Each structure stands twice: as C-alpha cells, then as structure tokens.
Chains A and B, each alone.
Chain A
Amino acid sequence: DVKVTQSSRYLVKRTGEKVFLECVQDMDHENMFWYRQDPGLGLRLIYFSYDVKMKEKGDIPEGYSVSREKKERFSLILESASTNQTSMYLCASSSAGTGPLFFGSGTQLSVL
C-alpha cells in the first residue's frame, strides 16, 4: 500500500516559534507537495518539489519555507509562527507526469 506519513497529527505552538512539519513517502515518488486546508477555501498549494533539493513556490508561500534533502522526505518550515498560520497542513506525493496525488493524514497546527 502507498503511504505518506506526516510526523504529527496535532501540534500546538506559540507565536514566534520555529515549526517543522515532516513528511515521508515510501513510493519513490518524484513530486512532493505541501497544502494548507482551511474551511471554505479548499486546499491551497504552499510549495512543491519535483526532485531532491528542488522546490517551487505555490500560491501561498509567504511565511513558509521547505527542504528536500532526500527523495522520500519533504519538510515544511514556519520560520516564525503566527496565529494566521493556524490551519490543517496536508502533505502529498505523486509520480512524475500526471499521476494522482497521494496524501498524508494531515497535521492540525494551532498557533497560540
């Protein structure tokens, strides 16, 4: 079975903290993604990566950065967490081309 694993299901952080969200996939997929999910807005792309050490900005990259040092791992970093970054974060991966995305089970982040 394909598997995308997100390190935390729930996370509570304080304003100004540096936050790391980790994602690992075991499908040898080239592409990896970070989405943010908010009610009424659907899923919005933050960053994606199509290869190791490669990254591209999505629609809402401000306040976020990413790291992909190994093919199977894609990290989302909040350099200085703010309350407006309280949200559900979903990681996904896909094979090169137009394959469907496979998702992790999400991290609900609360920034207080």
Chain B
Amino acid sequence: AQTVTQSQPEMSVQEAETVTLSCTYDTSESNYYLFWYKQPPSRQMILVIRQEAYKQQNATENRFSVNFQKAAKSFSLKISDSQLGDTAMYFCAFMFEGYDMRFGAGTRLTVKP
C-alpha cells in the first residue's frame, strides 16, 4: 500500500524568506502523480502544485516549486518569498489511480511578520 510521510508537523518562517516542506512516499509503482495542497484557516483545500512521476522536470507555480527525487521517493515543496497568506496546513498527496489519493499528516506552516 502507498504511504505518504510528512516528518515536520510544524514549521515557521519569516516573511520574505524561503522555506522547504518535506514529503516522502512509499510505492512500488512507476507511474503516479504527486500533489501539494494548502489548507488555510478557511479550511478550503487548495491545489498548490502537481507533479507527474514520468516527468523529470520539477514543477513550478510562481513562488512554489518542488524538488522531485524519484529514486529517493522524495517530493519537497519550496516556498520562496514567503507571504503572510501562505500561513496554512500543507498536505502532500500521492495518487496512483484516479480514485486513490493518499495524504500525509500535514505540516502546519506559520509565516511571521
């Protein structure tokens, strides 16, 4: 069974600095998809970024980028120029088939002014 591990329950960062959230996963599959979701205090889950395992190039979305290491089964999220609005829970997720998305336990990120 696929599992997702986020080893950092809480993190904090100063506004405008860079922070990296860690995620590892376990799977025997070769083709799959990885996601980072953000859940602010409003509780709305928001898709931040998506990575296809067959693509070697790391995905980027504005200030958000990933470091995808397939052999190491690692999928970290880097947030550059952190903003107060980035304060949220961040969930790493793995999907092999379209109806089986697995989530990590989450990392609570606080951006300090």
Contact = CB atoms under 8 A, between A and B. Distances in A.
Secondary structure at the B interface, as helix, strand, loop or mixed, is: loop
A42 B99 contact: no
B64 interface: no
Interface residues of B, number: 23
B96 to A, nearest CB: 8
Report, as a range, how many residues of chain A touch the other chain: 20 to 34
Contacts, number: 51
A42 B33 CA distance: 18
A78 interface: no
Nearest to B47: A100
Interface string B1-31: 0001010010000000000000000000000
Interface of B: 4, 6, 9, 33, 35, 37, 42-45, 47, 50, 91, 95, 97-101, 103-106
